[in-house]
Amino acid sequence: MPTSRSRRSPLRAIAATAALLLPLAACSSSGESGGSGDQRLRVVMAFPPAQAMSPYGDDAVTLSRLAVVEGLTTLDRNGAAKPSLAASWKQDNPTTWTFTLRDAVFQDGAKVDPEAVVRSLTAAGKASPLPRVLSDTTLKATVTGARTVRIVTGEADPLLPQRLANPSLAILSAPAYQGGKVNPAGHATGPFTLTDVKGAVAATLERNADYWGDKAKAPGVDVTFAADGTARANALRTKAVDVAEYVPIAQASLLGDSYVHEFPSARTNGLSLNTERGVFADPALRAAAREAIDSKALVDGVYEGRADTAQGLLGPGIPWAAGQRTAPTGRTPAASRADIARTKEIVLATYTNRPELPEVATLVQQQLEKRGFTVKQVVRDYAQMEADALAGKYDAFIQARNTLLDTADPVSYLASDFTCDGSFNISQLCDRKVDTAVAKAASLTGTDARHNAEMTAEAAVLGADALVPLVHERFVQGYDDARVEGVALDPMERTLITADTHVG
């Protein structure tokens, strides 16, 4: 059972902070020259590497947030594709695109050429498990010229330029693919080069002197990974780090306004219910669980008002969603209290990497038990839980999901999380109406038409009670704005440290 904020042991918090400070001090002692702009950045990240920094899982986001990897395209703040390693592109027909590469080199000195692009995209398409961004499409890349690559999709894919900005489709040099694994260290193209990874504890980055764009202002970055949110906040408070990722809500008021940078996100925290097996294979019991949830109590009791009450799968971080939302379709009436009382104990799981989630789980457990369910909690580090969650071994799983993370358009999130073949389908949902609606949205080129179809899919998912939205998060990143400049506050979570990030 997780501890609540009020019962947290001070000694435990101090021990966690001390454990964090030691590697940070060791990393930073040799790298600072003391001059303005010459100091190495010290950053603490919330999620330790789960796949040895492979770009085919969630570690890809870490690599992107640390400005290590790049794809053919990148995204602007509105989610539109703009050039990165590809200087330009054109659509030849509904399924065929041609990309022209810019002049760039990898961090190991090799030239970024069409063969490298084909190799990287082919490897991503053969990865197991498949990257989520490819869960609803197939790509075939071929060399067509000295600087051009043709990419053909299995079906028309109007979002291909946005899709290619996903960090799981980063372009790496040939040595990254040796030995049956993918190793981006020293083989990517970003402004910072990953030079060392110490398991799930720390990583070292150095400025990429051959970067094709503006060179990094900081000479390097010393990264520590700490799942304990209080430890991250304490490291920032004691100036052991310059930037702390995902400051816990409970610590925000203690740090003060100059350290706390709050902004809206596209992240929805939801309760995924196992639709395939166990108690929640019964849609009436899923409906009863949904009716038990009080979102406002979670916002007030856990997030101290720094979140928004649940509106749907897509929250206020996606401004167009509210105006196009329709009512859930096909809902089953909720089971009676007597039917609930006859059910077996359910396993409710979540992870520690986001410090609010164990507290959310405690309140959700209380709300479900008030409805009549018998609930057991499982709370561990995310890396220890992902495989079991994807395999459907929990009855209910509380997770935080960025609904724009894969393509900057929610169609990829809908496909990966809620379709029969979805690669991140924790609810194990397989519903023909949902699959049809998502496929229609994916096929539409007009933005308004696609958004309407996405809201139809949302209504079908909510109607099946595959996921119960809990809250819509606001992000809190920590850094002293009097000292640190250039930190990216990105609602899509692709960027944090950039070439411009430095200690002033």
User: Is the model's pLDDT at 33 over the cut of 50?
Assistant: no
Instruction: Taking residues 376-388, report their average pLDDT.
Output: 95
What is the DSSP annotation of 295-361? HHHHHHHTSTT-EEE--SSS-TTSTTHHHH-----SPPPPPPHHHHHTSPPEEEEEESSSTHHHHHH
pTM value surpassing 0.95? no
Instruction: Take residue 334 and report the two structure tokens written for it.
Output: 């909720």
Domains and CATH numbers, the chain: 5-68+190-259+480-503 (3.40.190.10), 73-180 (3.40.190.10), 264-474 (3.10.105.10)
Q: Return the minimum-mean-pLDDT range out of 155-164, 231-240, 403-412, 477-486.
A: 403-412
- Output Rg (C-alpha) for the chain, integer angstroms: 23
Do 139 and 125 form a contact (C-beta atoms < 8 A)? Answer: yes
User: Is the model's pLDDT at 448 over the cut of 90?
Assistant: no
Do 394 and 277 form a contact (C-beta atoms < 8 A)? Answer: no
Question: What local confidence, expressed as pLDDT, does residue 37 receive?
Answer: 57
Residue with tokens 């190799």: 119
Residues 6 or more apart whose CB falls under 8 angstroms from that of 93 comprise none
Residues 6 or more apart whose CB falls under 8 angstroms from that of 456 comprise 326, 437, 440, 441
pLDDT tens digits for 221-257?
Answer: 999 999 999 999 999 999 999 999 999 888 988 998 8
Question: What local confidence, expressed as pLDDT, does residue 391 receive?
Answer: 96
User: Is the model's pLDDT at 26 over the cut of 50?
Assistant: no
Instruction: Taking residues 52-78, report their average pLDDT.
Output: 93
Average pLDDT along the chain: 91
User: Is the model's pLDDT at 24 over the cut of 70?
Assistant: no
Question: What local confidence, expressed as pLDDT, does residue 31 receive?
Answer: 41
User: Is the model's pLDDT at 320 over the cut of 90?
Assistant: no
Question: What local confidence, expressed as pLDDT, does residue 48 receive?
Answer: 94
Closest alpha carbon to 284 in 372, 350, 364, 360: 372
Confidence of residue 23 (pLDDT cuts 50, 70, 90): low
User: Is the model's pLDDT at 35 over the cut of 80?
Assistant: no
Question: What local confidence, expressed as pLDDT, does residue 431 receive?
Answer: 97
